[in-house]
Amino acid sequence: MTATTKSFIPAPRGDSKRLSVADARARILADVAVVREIENVPVRTALGRVLARDIVSPIDVPAHTNSAVDGYALARDELPKEGSREFRVVGSALAGRPYTGTVARGDCVQIMTGAPMPTGTDAVVIREQAAVRGDRVTIEYEADRARNVRMAGEDIAKGQAALAAGKEIAAAELGMLASLGLAEVPAYRRARVAYFSTGDELRPVGEALKPGQIYESNRYTLFGLLTRAGVELRDLGVVADRPDSVRAALADAAANTDAVITTGGVSVGDADYVKETVEALGTIRFWQVAMRPGRPFVFGKLGNAAFFGLPGNPVAVMVTFYQLVRPALRCIMGEPSPPLLPTFRARSLSPLRTRVGRTEFIRGVLGRDENGELTVRSTGSQGSGILSSMSVGDCFIVLPPESGDTEPGAMVDVQPFHGLM
């Protein structure tokens, strides 16, 4: 996925003629430039990074055939086919302290979970199926059904590709890498992202507000979103609504970065200078998406950097980030096919109002009814400036463009916040 030249898509009238969310996402992923620099990073700091090369296992995992349970190791063909049989216990095997002798026929070894299987044994009878008297164990014939052995290399075999290039390293992958004895892994470097907000009415927290002013919150939201996305951040603050200020900030932001993100200044107001300045300094690939909230969204290029112009309303910032920006950042950092947000079905308890032709992202609260069926209700007012709806809610209710109004009792798609934020 490398940068390509594409024509600007103007903002036609009517949501049905704007780019759909799926089309906008696809165009962005096809157009961003993927990071190529590779770093060797300690495993403990690799969480969220993307593997740059295949990881081939240098060892078998597990390294030796071992017991899956606590019990008694013996030769499987000696287990009784009927009745019971007595075995002599000749020793014990623990994880880290194996039994080093050879187990003769008629003998067995007491063994703990994870201990290597002694020579001469290939089955383990669990402790609950054995009657112990001193150094003698009586085993009933029903024990023949279980082997309870984990074979060497049954998880990962030596020489096997354990993890593929392009894989995001999550908690399970950290454990896998450690199980292979690897202290470092090759990963693509983190995306470098610069961001700022625009608006003369915005004031920093801690200052007293004058008439018409509001506290600037979007940069704090973006800080949280970008930190969770695992990128390198550069916060350029709040930029005044003046063409020269916006131009200088965009030029500064695009230098040595992979992506530039702004909030505000991408609508059609007289003081919205971001979009026109991006057109002057770079290119705009498209403007406006058939979605609510988040319609006045801009995607373009500033030199080699991808540009994401997010709306100024707080909820629209979060919705467009999750649906369009976050997948692009994962792609930039080397993940070839960023996974779509998990979606499942729930029964709506609320009337949901929308307009045909656009995808609606309604903040909802998940629950279960008396039958255990998954339900969802709206958080209430869905204005794109009501940031508290993102705190009260725990999911998006996603209404596709063709759905229109939805009455209580209808099944709807939901995307949970947990794991995203």
Report the CATH number that the domain containing residue 182 is assigned in CATH. 3.90.105.10
Q: What's 210's domain CATH number?
A: 3.40.980.10
For residue range 336-385, what is the model confidence (pLDDT) as tens digits? 888 888 899 999 999 998 889 999 999 999 999 999 999 999 999 998 98
Mean pLDDT of 180-204: 92
Question: Quick check: is 7 in a domain?
Answer: no
Total residues found in the chain within this entry: 421
Question: Quick check: is 337 in a domain?
Answer: no
Peptide bond into 351 cis (omega under 30): no
What the block records as the tokens of 314 is: 């707080």
- The answer to whether residues 177 and 251 belong to one domain is no
- The answer to whether residues 170 and 107 belong to one domain is no
- Specify burial of residue 218 (Cβ count, 10 A radius: 0-12, 13-18, 19+): buried
Structural domain boundaries, residue 367: 344-416
Question: Quick check: is 398 in a domain?
Answer: yes
Of 129, 150, 171, the residue at which a domain comes to its end is 150
Q: What's 390's domain CATH number?
A: 2.40.340.10
pLDDT tops 80 at residue 305? yes
How does residue 146 score in pLDDT terms, banded at 50, 70 and 90?
low
Torsion of CA 398, 403, 409, 412, to 10 degrees: -30
How does residue 264 score in pLDDT terms, banded at 50, 70 and 90?
confident
206: CB partners within 8 A, 6+ apart: none
Determine the pLDDT at residue 145. Answer: 63
What b-and-e string marks burial along 131-168, b requiring 16 or more CB atoms within 10 Å of the CB?
A: eeeeeebebbeebbebebbbebbeebeeeeebbebbbb
Stronger pLDDT, 336 or 187, i.e. the higher one: 187
What the block records as the tokens of 93 is: 């095997």
Question: Quick check: is 198 in a domain?
Answer: yes
How does residue 173 score in pLDDT terms, banded at 50, 70 and 90?
very high
Question: Quick check: is 10 in a domain?
Answer: no
DSSP state of 171: H
Question: Quick check: is 53 in a domain?
Answer: yes
- The answer to whether residues 257 and 389 belong to one domain is no
Mean pLDDT of 283-307: 95
Peptide bond into 12 cis (omega under 30): no
How does residue 24 score in pLDDT terms, banded at 50, 70 and 90?
very high
Q: Which of these, 404, 393, 301, 296, lies nearest to 356 by C-alpha position?
A: 404
Min mean pLDDT across 56-60, 101-105, 108-112, 213-217 is at 213-217
- Specify burial of residue 269 (Cβ count, 10 A radius: 0-12, 13-18, 19+): exposed
Domain count, the chain: 4
DSSP state of 259: E
Stronger pLDDT, 404 or 413, i.e. the higher one: 413
What the block records as the tokens of 64 is: 């030796």
- The Cα–Cα gap between 60 and 53 comes to 20
- The answer to whether residues 137 and 175 belong to one domain is no
Mean pLDDT of 123-149: 87
- The answer to whether residues 195 and 212 belong to one domain is yes
Q: What pTM was computed for the model?
A: 0.85
- The answer to whether residues 50 and 121 belong to one domain is no
- The Cα–Cα gap between 349 and 346 comes to 9
pLDDT tops 90 at residue 201? no
- The answer to whether residues 295 and 370 belong to one domain is no
For residue range 67-97, what is the model confidence (pLDDT) as tens digits? 999 999 999 999 988 889 999 999 999 999 9
